[in-house]
Each structure stands twice: as structure tokens, then as C-alpha cells.
């Protein structure tokens, strides 16, 4: 019973969250995203690992929430633009798939070849971003953030697997 409820929550999450999230002002979304990126990529920022993004723009989109942000690197800081920018590369995927990537439950390459993760524009820039994401040591993140991310990714993973199992079960009956 709990598996069915979890699966329903996972499948419905984007639909339920879409309106409330879109009501948040873009400036607030950008500020929260920037704070999260600075925390997650603290070490990479200190090491200068974002220089490849200098004066270039990366669009990050959560397609099923109809949300997107433009991210760049100026000087020695990440920036999130409140206004429209011409993107050099873009990453887009649905909420659940991006959670699975962040929680290391799915490999970005696998999702890319399944057409669940889209990387468009400057391929070299896209690969550098993907490699930087892959290099993050989740154990270096604050424990509450790591715990939350792991639990959320596990919840989504089990919900999606249950749903896939039920679909396969229906097809074979």
C-alpha cells in the first residue's frame, strides 16, 4: 500500500508543485538557487573549477515545472541572471530525473541516451558541466543536505521503480 502511495506522489509531484513554485518571484528563485549552488560547489569554486563558464551562459531547466535559470561565472563568483540571456548550452530534464541525478541514483549519461536528459548547444561546455557535477563528493556537503538529498532520491527511485513494475505487470497480463 505504501509503495502505491509513494509511486503516486512521485508521479504527481511536478503537477502538484508546478503552480506553487511558479508563484515564487524569479528573483527569489534565483537567490535560493545561487545559495544552493555556492554551498554545493564551494570547493570547486575555491579551486577555480568554474573558469570554463567565464562569460558564458548555461541554461538549467526543470521541464515539467516550466522553470529555468541562466547561470554564469564572472570574476570568481557564480551568478544567476534574473533576465533573459543568450545561452551557450542548456541542460533540461524533468524534476524526478534531476533528483535522481543529484542523489546519484541515475547516471546522467544513461538518462541522456534515453532522451530523459537533454544537453543542447555547446557540447564541450555541456560536458564540462556534466563532469563537474559528477566530481562532487556528496560527503563534503553539510550532513543535513546530504541526508535530505539521499532520502529524496531514494524515495523518487523507489516510486519510479514501483510505477515501472506496475506498468510492466499490466502489459504482461
pLDDT for residue 2: 83
The pLDDT tens digits of the residues spanning 143-161 come to 888 899 899 999 999 999 9
Query: Where is average pLDDT lowest: 6-10, 42-46, 110-114, 134-138?
Result: 134-138
Report the side by side order of strands in the sheet with 58-62. 77-81, 67-74, 58-62, 89-93, 117-121
Q: Do β-strands 89-93 and 58-62 pair in parallel, antiparallel, or remain unpaired?
A: parallel
Q: How confident is residue 96, by pLDDT bands cut at 50, 70 and 90?
A: very high
Number of domains in the chain: 1
Is the per-residue pLDDT at 87 higher than 80?
yes
Q: How many CB atoms lie within 10 A of CB 32?
A: 12
Question: Is residue 1 domain-resident?
Answer: no
Is the per-residue pLDDT at 164 higher than 70?
no
Is the per-residue pLDDT at 172 higher than 60?
no
pLDDT for residue 169: 56
Report the C-alpha gap between 41 and 79 in whole angstroms: 13
pTM: 0.85
Is the per-residue pLDDT at 74 higher than 70?
yes
Question: Is residue 39 domain-resident?
Answer: yes
Q: What is the CATH number of the domain that holds 96?
A: 3.30.1050.10
More confident: 170 or 93: 93
The pLDDT tens digits of the residues spanning 2-56 come to 888 999 999 999 999 999 998 999 899 999 999 988 988 888 898 888 999 998 9
- Full domain range(s) for residue 37: 6-171
Is the per-residue pLDDT at 167 higher than 70?
no
Question: Is residue 153 domain-resident?
Answer: yes
Is the per-residue pLDDT at 171 higher than 60?
no
Amino acid at each position: 500500500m505504501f509503495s502505491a502511495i509513494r509511486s503516486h506522489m512521485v508521479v504527481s509531484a511536478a503537477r502538484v508543485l508546478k503552480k506553487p513554485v511558479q508563484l515564487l518571484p524569479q528573483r527569489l528563485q534565483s537567490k535560493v538557487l545561487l545559495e544552493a549552488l555556492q554551498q554545493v560547489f564551494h570547493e570547486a569554486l575555491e579551486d577555480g573549477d568554474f573558469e570554463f563558464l567565464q562569460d558564458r551562459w548555461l541554461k538549467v531547466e526543470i521541464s515539467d515545472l516550466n522553470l529555468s535559470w541562466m547561470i554564469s561565472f564572472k570574476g570568481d563568483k557564480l551568478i544567476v541572471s534574473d533576465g533573459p540571456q543568450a545561452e551557450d548550452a542548456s541542460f533540461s530534464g524533468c524534476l524526478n530525473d534531476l533528483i535522481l541525478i543529484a542523489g546519484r541514483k541515475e547516471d546522467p549519461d544513461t538518462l541522456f541516451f534515453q532522451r530523459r536528459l537533454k544537453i543542447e548547444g555547446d557540447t564541450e561546455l555541456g560536458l564540462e558541466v556534466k563532469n563537474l557535477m559528477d566530481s562532487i563528493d556528496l560527503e563534503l556537503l553539510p550532513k543535513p543536505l546530504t541526508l535530505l538529498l539521499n532520502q529524496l532520491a531514494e524515495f523518487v527511485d523507489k516510486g519510479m521503480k514501483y510505477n515501472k513494475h506496475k506498468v510492466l505487470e499490466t502489459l504482461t497480463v
